[in-house]
Amino acid sequence: MTNFIEIAKKAKEASLMTASLSKEIKNEALNKIADALEEAKDEIFEANKIDLELASPLVENGEISKSTLNRLKLDENKMRDMIAGVRAIAKLPDPVNKKLFVRELDENLTLSKVSCPIGVLGIIFEARPDVISQISSLAIKSANTVILKGGKESTNTNKKILEIINGALDKVEGFPKNVIQQVFTRDDVGEMLKCDKYINLIIPRGGNSLVKFVKENTKIPVLGHADGICHIFVDESADLIEAEKIIIDAKTQYPSACNSVETLLIHENFAHKDELLAALQLEEIKLIDNPESWAHEYGDKILAFKTVKNLDEAINHINTYGSGHTDCIITKNIENAEKFMNNVDSAGVYFNVSTRFADGFRYGFGAEVGISTAKIHARGPVGLEGLTIYKYKLEGNGQIVADYVEGRKQFNYKNKLQLPPGGLPIKRC
């Protein structure tokens, strides 16, 4: 039986060492991982083939879903993206020890807000072996350590990928041991969720039942999303060809993904409704106009649809039944687009683009540890910045509070470094 506490202790000890790693060592580690994955592609595919053969009968018996099997499969495209993601993360700016603001409280008394790693991450995921390289790479770059628990369906693939990653890390001088560790049993999950002494953040990547179970059984902060109930609203001014292209991509490009569209809302004055629905059916999309639930994630080429009276009804429907993941409006009306994006309460609000863009790699984050619908420090696809927190550093030369309380000294509060008021300017096309 796994001694989980020992694994967690080692992860905590390693996290204290990774916090001070140079960007050069971290980037060397990432590039060696990418090279190793490239060289060992055939080994990974062989391990994945074994997992697929073992999982296929489980689909037939109804023990796992077809969408789970789709997520489990590694192909050349996923492998290419895995490796490209690791290399992309190596090229990104170091997210640690960045000064977020500097404020002079008084002469020779300076306060700095500085980014730092979270610490130890516990990652629980289902049948997504490509998750290992994504999370490992983001953890290394952000100076965190990780304990991974993947689905039993992907055990062989998971073991092989982590073996390759840790083999590459062993070749990097000065890189600590036990930064990326893996556990395999259901008992390990229970131990992980109780381990608030050593683990700082839990990230579940899976379906609603997994996320719900995690949230109900841990005191550790949890980052993630339960459902991917994504919507597309076709406004009355929408272009038919554009709408067809976007919706087909959002539903068929990878139906089991959490950013696949599940509900289509159509304005009652959209003149090409019948043509649009016919085009979707030609792509073998099953349309449902009266579902048992508007809050169902199909994970397949199934799309619920509804005719709405206006933009307000569409927004209300999304905010009532959506999961706060990603929702899109297709329209030529800029004012309607602005209203939709301002009033829909989701992590991603889109205008004339596929919901499938909701992804850390496509956002330029290199990869993601998951997508968060929570309103905490990280929302949407969570990349490097979502894996850092901050600390305050105060530097002085003997100042004491009594001098300020008793009026002998006064604060002057001069900001030396900060973002401009209102954040960075937005460029409009």
181 and 305 co-located in one domain: no
- Say whether pLDDT at 224 is over 80: no
- pLDDT band per the 50, 70, 90 thresholds, residue 419: low
345 and 275 co-located in one domain: yes
List the domain range (segments joined by +) for residue 256.
230-357
- Say whether pLDDT at 382 is over 90: no
Residues 325, 132, 223, 18, Cα dihedral to 10° = -140
pTM attached to this predicted model? 0.81
User: Token digits for 129?
Assistant: 């072996």
- Of 357, 391, 416, the one marking the end of a domain is 357
- pLDDT band per the 50, 70, 90 thresholds, residue 238: very high
215 and 264 co-located in one domain: no
Look-up: residue for tokens 């789970």? 68
Identify whether 135 is part of a domain.
Answer: yes
Identify whether 41 is part of a domain.
Answer: yes
- Say whether pLDDT at 95 is over 90: yes
> Could you tell me the CA-to-CA distances from 268 to 192, 278, 280, 292, 307 in Å, in that order?
50, 17, 18, 22, 6
214 and 300 co-located in one domain: no
- Say whether pLDDT at 428 is over 70: no
- Of 321, 341, 357, the one marking the end of a domain is 357
Identify whether 404 is part of a domain.
Answer: no
Identify whether 410 is part of a domain.
Answer: no
Residues 90, 96, 102, 106, Cα dihedral to 10° = -150
218 and 256 co-located in one domain: no
**Minimum mean pLDDT range among 29-33, 104-108, 284-288, 381-385:** 381-385
- Say whether pLDDT at 2 is over 70: no
250 and 219 co-located in one domain: no
The residues near 235 (Cβ < 8 Å, ≥ 6 apart) are 267, 270, 311, 329, 330, 331, 332, 333, 336
What is the tally of structural domains in the chain?
2
Q: Do residues 162 and 135 touch, judged by C-beta distance below 8 A? A: no
| Mean predicted confidence (pLDDT) in 165-181 | 97
User: Token digits for 376?
Assistant: 């905490």
182 and 64 co-located in one domain: yes
- DSSP one-letter code for 422: T
Identify whether 79 is part of a domain.
Answer: yes
40 and 157 co-located in one domain: yes
Average pLDDT along the chain: 92
pLDDT for the residue 62: 81
- Of 357, 392, 413, the one marking the end of a domain is 357
pLDDT for the residue 429: 30
CATH of the domain at 212: 3.40.605.10
Closest residue by Cα to residue 228 from 408, 71, 13, 420: 71
253 and 293 co-located in one domain: yes
CATH of the domain at 329: 3.40.309.10
pLDDT for the residue 426: 39
Identify whether 371 is part of a domain.
Answer: no
185 and 293 co-located in one domain: no
- pLDDT band per the 50, 70, 90 thresholds, residue 291: very high
Closest residue by Cα to residue 337 from 422, 238, 191: 238
Q: Do residues 192 and 52 touch, judged by C-beta distance below 8 A? A: no
The residues near 44 (Cβ < 8 Å, ≥ 6 apart) are 37, 74, 79, 157, 160, 161, 164
352 and 240 co-located in one domain: yes
pLDDT for the residue 7: 97
- Say whether pLDDT at 417 is over 80: no
- For residue 392, the tally of other CB atoms under 10 A from its CB is 11
83 and 152 co-located in one domain: yes
Identify whether 281 is part of a domain.
Answer: yes
| Mean predicted confidence (pLDDT) in 334-354 | 97
- pLDDT band per the 50, 70, 90 thresholds, residue 361: confident
**Minimum mean pLDDT range among 35-44, 85-94, 223-232:** 223-232
| Mean predicted confidence (pLDDT) in 288-305 | 94
Identify whether 425 is part of a domain.
Answer: no
**pLDDT tens-place string over residues 10-49:** 999 999 999 999 999 999 999 999 999 999 999 999 999 9
